[in-house]
Amino acid sequence: TMAFRHENTRRIEGLDSNVWVEFTKVAADPSIVNLGQGLPDISPPSYVKEELAKAAAVDRLNQYTRGFGHPSLVKALSQVYERVCGRRIDPLTDILVTVGAYGSLFSTIQALIQEGDEVIIIEPFYDCYEPMVKMAGAKPVFIPLRYKNDGNSASSADWVLDPAELAKKFNSKTKAIILNTPHNPIGKVFTREELQVIADLCIKHDTLCISDEVYEWLVYKGNKHIKIATLPGMWERTITIGSAGKTYSVTGWKLGWSIGPQNLIKHLQVVHQNTLYTCPTPLQEALAQAFWIDYERMDDPDCYFYSLSRELESKRDRMAQLLQEAGLKPVIPDGGYFMIVDVSTLNVDLSDVDEKQPYDYKFVKWMITSKKLSAIPLSAFCGPETKRQFEKYIRFCFIKKDGTLDAAEVILKNWNKQTA
Amino acid sequence: SHFLSLSLQAKMSRPVQARRLEGIDKNIWVEFVKLAATYSTVNLGQGFPDFPPPDFLKEAFVGALSGENQMLHQYTRAFGHPPLVKILAQFFGKLLGRDLDPMTDVMVTVGAYQALFCCFQAFVDEGDEVIIIEPFFDCYEPMVKMAGGTPVFVPLRPKAPKDGKLMSSADWQLDPAELASKFSERTKAIVLNSPNNPLGKVFSRGELELIADLCVKHDILCISDEVYEWLVYDGKEHIRIASLHGMWDRTVIIGSAGKTFSATGWKVGWTVGPNRLLRHLRTMHQNSVYHCATVAQEAVAQGFQRELERYGKPDSYFVQLPKELQQKRDWLVQSLDAVGMKPIVPEGTYFLVADISEFKSDVPDVPDSDEPYDSRFAKWMVKNKGLAAIPLSAFYCGPHKNNYNHFIRFCFAKEEATLKAANDILQKWKREKTSP
């Protein structure tokens, strides 16, 4: 046989495994109630689908559009976000449309992060941040959210950063901090004061802020989503990332965007023109039209940005109740569509399971096989030092139709009746 | 604070962008697309059809987005929507004479563009050399550089056509000794594009064997961009280099729904190859875009299903489209030849390159100009004649841009009316030249 030396490059070494590859396959079995991957099984609003059908009927819209973003879409995005941010946003220079928020994270990190840089990541974190930072040759520096309350309330607001601990993570090599608010998986909505602590450090150390705000519209009563880019001194150093998938319940459209100052966005555009060049046209046109519809009613409670949030709040409350009735103490999220819960109180003994995986991985696998219910283990969202801290938590997704939550209810109600 | 630490001063004086962006920020399309949008009445520049995708494909798209299955608006399998990878495995398995596993030997990407990106990122490390045949689709060079690699260029060289005949893309050939000399210890890969954009060359079996022998001898990877695989004319055969001896294990084949089904705006592409190579593309894909949009994948899967059933038959889109395009090619060849722009008749793709030497009097040479002559010519032409085309120098590396600088590339995937309008412009232009 011929010698064959084609191995992978250094940049992807060790980045091949992934919690989703492991768990989405297992949960694809239709007999399993899937509350794992963040996948709505509710229908997107009908006008969104109608606009896509209309777009597909126009010949020109089935061919290439402008690489950095379809003109009508970047115009609509600039209008919506000008209103939210209270500042002028140039559709051509301050916005890049990407393949999902995932694509925005990739473009931002590839554009602005290199070998020798450090990037601060708040734990638990959406799992792609770490491998993307590593692929760029940089060093991830982790800081955990810590549970501060000893009392009975369990809210995402109880998970906080220690300002002194955070300050110590910044140094002259710190190129960026990645912020995710509302936060996946905990559902924390960072307050203005919390954002100010981060902003002060960014300004002091001349650090960039990569702000993943995909769940920006999904905030529940008593909470307000604040954009760190609107804090003084922050616009010029922040890339804010959004997602059509989360905004309109169309994760399968894979459209996202990065918004920021021209002198940063232009570098993301260079990455984009050298990676995939342009995003699909009909989807961008449909999304633009959907945004115009909701932009017109941004003062109206029927605007989808608010109506979805209300719908999800009642699902959140139902999910919390079901878990509580099963004897669990869920962390009630202030935003997003995930809920984490400490399962160690169930005392499920998995010590005889031979695998060297953290407890929560083993628990979820056991729960899938024996209870036909899936979730995602929280240690997937942690750096190596904190896995022990978070391995008693699992994450449930509640952007699910009533039928799915009904099925989950049956399983949780019967939980204690089926002890092995 | 009034005093910045030295380290902070140093940080603030460094460029904010990463080093990997060095030298890759310029892009010809940004400029030429804008010029065409502003000035052109007839746009034969950027490569996309001005006719729609076939009805069966549009129907599949609308059916998918409005059908009962709501989950088609949500994430599908990251490495490719199951119905699509299954039909691609079946279809390409048949073409290659192999059993392909849809889960491991096929991966769907956001257009062929993203497939190329994954290949370079997964296999080209700092210091690796990648051989690129000129003229080349312009993204290969910056992608190799972004991956830290060194592009090594080898030109197709035109041989004079037989007496009285128009030049053909087949007359542009590699010099075997010159090609062999480009391989070194550091060579990691070669990029092959057949049918070739911009020339339209369809590499012959002999030419592919030459390349394959060198790949095997030097144990290198072949990145085979075959997006125009169905667009071959005059009964020529598109031969897949992966089917040659010793090549399957070292080739990644890249394809495109945009070119296959005239739907460039859908951005659905794929890679086909052995698991041993594709697993690294999967790693790259899952850490960059992860999922591709679902609805278009569902529609393309249905399109391929229909084509599999009609394979080789007269009503197959893969038979009809090249037939229609060949006719369009011939019209454009006639139009250009009639006015003295010498076309190089393409064996494939929907591009045609023509020699504009006879029109040089309209655009005088500017000695020591930074800009290649053909680029100035193309800009003058779109502004003054309303006809958009792309200068051939766009498809050469910096130092070679003046080697073949009196050619421009036309795209002929256009409605008959568009090609007639182009003909009118050319005829009028010629008349203006000949009468004082």
Residue B145 is classified by DSSP as: H
Pick from A22-26, A88-92, B198-202: least confident: A22-26
What is the pLDDT confidence band of residue B11, given thresholds at 50, 70 and 90? Answer: confident
Indicate the average pLDDT of chain A: 94
In the block, tokens 């990645």 appear at A178
Rounded to whole angstroms, how far apart are CA atoms B293 and A255?
A: 8
Among B223, B229, B157, B149, smallest CA distance to B192 is for: B223
What is the pLDDT confidence band of residue B257, given thresholds at 50, 70 and 90? Answer: very high
Distances (CA, A) of B132 to B129, B151, B201: 10, 7, 15
Pick from A6-20, A98-112, B175-189, B316-330: least confident: A6-20
Residues A105-129, mean pLDDT to the nearest whole number = 97
| Same-domain pairing of B63 and B97 | yes
Beta strands in A186-310 (DSSP E): 208-212, 238-243, 256-259
Rounded to whole angstroms, how far apart are CA atoms B294 and A287?
A: 15
| Same-domain pairing of B69 and B48 | no
What's the pLDDT score for residue B1?
A: 47
Residues of B in contact with A1 (CB under 8 A): none
In the block, tokens 């004082």 appear at B436
Quick check: helix, strand or coil at residue A96? strand
Residue A345: is its pLDDT beyond 90? no
Residues of A in contact with B46 (CB under 8 A): 64
Number of H helices, E strands in chain B: 14, 15
What's the pLDDT score for residue A4?
A: 66
Contact B126, B148 (CB under 8 A): yes
Chain A contact for B248 (CB, 8 A cutoff):
no
Look up the CATH number of the domain holding residue B368: 3.90.1150.10
| Same-domain pairing of B124 and B267 | yes
Closest approach of chain B CAs to the CA of A131, in angstroms? Answer: 7
| Same-domain pairing of B217 and B232 | yes
| Same-domain pairing of B64 and B136 | yes
Contact A295, A79 (CB under 8 A): yes
Among B409, B411, B381, smallest CA distance to B396 is for: B409
Which domains are seen in chain A, by residue range?
13-44+303-414 (3.90.1150.10), 46-296 (3.40.640.10)
Closest approach of chain A CAs to the CA of B418, in angstroms? Answer: 14
Among A286, A277, A126, smallest CA distance to A210 is for: A126
What is the identity of the amino acid at A264? L
Rounded to whole angstroms, how far apart are CA atoms A280 and A286?
A: 11
Pick from A386-390, B7-11, B318-322: least confident: B7-11
| Same-domain pairing of B296 and B148 | yes
Residues of A in contact with B142 (CB under 8 A): 274
Distances (CA, A) of B48 to A68, B285, B286: 18, 26, 29
Pick from A145-159, A254-268, A370-384: least confident: A145-159
The closest CB to that of A63, out of B48, B147, B287, belongs to B48
Closest approach of chain B CAs to the CA of A417, in angstroms? Answer: 33
Pick from A145-159, B138-152, B169-183, B188-202: least confident: A145-159
What is the pLDDT confidence band of residue A150, given thresholds at 50, 70 and 90? Answer: low
Residues A50-70, mean pLDDT to the nearest whole number = 96
Residues A318-332, mean pLDDT to the nearest whole number = 93
Among A261, A230, A279, smallest CA distance to A103 is for: A279
| Same-domain pairing of B41 and B87 | no
Contact between A62 and B58 using a beta-carbon 8 Å cutoff: yes
Residues 354-383 (A) with a CB less than 8 A from some CB of B: none
Rounded to whole angstroms, how far apart are CA atoms A91 and A95?
A: 6
Contact between B73 and A128 using a beta-carbon 8 Å cutoff: no
Contact between B263 and A8 using a beta-carbon 8 Å cutoff: no
Contact A280, B104 (CB under 8 A): no
Residues B76-94, mean pLDDT to the nearest whole number = 97
What is the pLDDT confidence band of residue A101, given thresholds at 50, 70 and 90? Answer: very high
Look up the CATH number of the domain holding residue B116: 3.40.640.10
Residues A42-53, mean pLDDT to the nearest whole number = 96
Residues B187-196, mean pLDDT to the nearest whole number = 98
CA angle B240–B243–B245, rounded 5-degree value? 130
Residues 128-187 (B) with a CB less than 8 A from some CB of A: 139, 142-143, 146-147
Structure tokens at A121: 């990541």
In a domain, B9, yes or no: no
What's the pLDDT score for residue A11?
A: 96
Beta strands in B228-292 (DSSP E): 251-256, 269-272
In chain A, the percentage of residues whose pLDDT exceeds 90 is 85
Closest approach of chain B CAs to the CA of A391, in angstroms? Answer: 24
| Same-domain pairing of B198 and B101 | yes
Contact between B24 and A274 using a beta-carbon 8 Å cutoff: yes
pTM of the shown model: 0.96
Contact between B16 and A41 using a beta-carbon 8 Å cutoff: no
Rounded to whole angstroms, how far apart are CA atoms B31 and B35?
A: 6
The predicted-structure confidence for B318-345, as pLDDT tens digits, reads as follows 999 999 999 999 999 999 999 999 999 9
> Which of B270, B292, B310 is where one domain is finished?
B310
In a domain, B15, yes or no: no
| Same-domain pairing of B74 and B197 | yes
Contact between B296 and A102 using a beta-carbon 8 Å cutoff: no
The closest CB to that of A252, out of B25, B76, B219, belongs to B76
Interface test with B, best of A6, A23, A97 (most B CBs within 10 A): A6
In a domain, B3, yes or no: no
CA angle B199–B202–B204, rounded 5-degree value? 135
Chain B contact for A206 (CB, 8 A cutoff):
yes
What is the pLDDT confidence band of residue B299, given thresholds at 50, 70 and 90? Answer: very high
The predicted-structure confidence for B90-136, as pLDDT tens digits, reads as follows 999 999 999 999 999 999 999 999 999 999 999 999 999 999 999 99
What is the pLDDT confidence band of residue B3, given thresholds at 50, 70 and 90? Answer: low
Residues of A in contact with B117 (CB under 8 A): 274-276
| Same-domain pairing of B76 and B207 | yes
In a domain, B101, yes or no: yes
Residues B396-402, mean pLDDT to the nearest whole number = 94
Chain A: residue whose CA lies nearest to B25: A270
In a domain, B16, yes or no: no
Residues of A in contact with B48 (CB under 8 A): 63-64
Residue A157: is its pLDDT beyond 50? yes
Residue A419: is its pLDDT beyond 70? no
The closest CB to that of A252, out of B29, B142, B294, belongs to B294
> Which of B283, B310, B337 is where one domain is finished?
B310
Residue B157: is its pLDDT beyond 70? yes
In the block, tokens 């399957």 appear at B248
What's the pLDDT score for residue B203?
A: 98
What is the identity of the amino acid at B361? S
Rounded to whole angstroms, how far apart are CA atoms A82 and A240?
A: 13
In a domain, B4, yes or no: no
CB neighbours of residue B103 within 10 Å:
16
Contact between B282 and A16 using a beta-carbon 8 Å cutoff: yes
What's the pLDDT score for residue B187?
A: 97
What is the pLDDT confidence band of residue A327, given thresholds at 50, 70 and 90? Answer: confident
Domain count, chain B: 2
Pick from A61-70, A352-361, B375-384, B390-399: least confident: A352-361
Chain A contact for B117 (CB, 8 A cutoff):
yes
| Same-domain pairing of B60 and B49 | no
In a domain, B208, yes or no: yes
Length of chain A: 420
The closest CB to that of A65, out of B29, B74, B265, belongs to B265
Contact between B287 and A106 using a beta-carbon 8 Å cutoff: yes
| Same-domain pairing of B306 and B342 | no
The predicted-structure confidence for B24-70, as pLDDT tens digits, reads as follows 998 888 889 889 999 999 999 999 999 999 999 999 999 999 999 99
In a domain, B334, yes or no: yes
Residues B287-312, mean pLDDT to the nearest whole number = 97
What's the pLDDT score for residue B161?
A: 86
Chain B: residue whose CA lies nearest to A14: B283
Higher pLDDT, A264 or B3: A264
Residue B2: is its pLDDT beyond 60? no
Pick from A25-39, A190-204, A299-313, B369-383: least confident: A25-39
Q: What is the ipTM of this complex?
A: 0.96
What's the pLDDT score for residue B9?
A: 80
What is the pLDDT confidence band of residue A152, given thresholds at 50, 70 and 90? Answer: low
Q: Which helix (H) or strand (E) holds A291?
A: helix A281-296
Among B243, B238, B230, smallest CA distance to B307 is for: B230
The predicted-structure confidence for B308-325, as pLDDT tens digits, reads as follows 999 999 999 999 999 999
In chain B, the percentage of residues whose pLDDT exceeds 70 is 99
> Which of B310, B336, B360 is where one domain is finished?
B310
Residue A415: is its pLDDT beyond 70? yes
Residues B133-150, mean pLDDT to the nearest whole number = 98
Residue B436: is its pLDDT beyond 70? no
Chain B contact for A276 (CB, 8 A cutoff):
yes
In the block, tokens 């697993």 appear at B279
What's the pLDDT score for residue A1?
A: 44
Residues of A in contact with B27 (CB under 8 A): 273
CB contacts < 8 Å between A and B, how many?
224
User: Which residue range is the domain that position B150 belongs to?
Assistant: 55-310
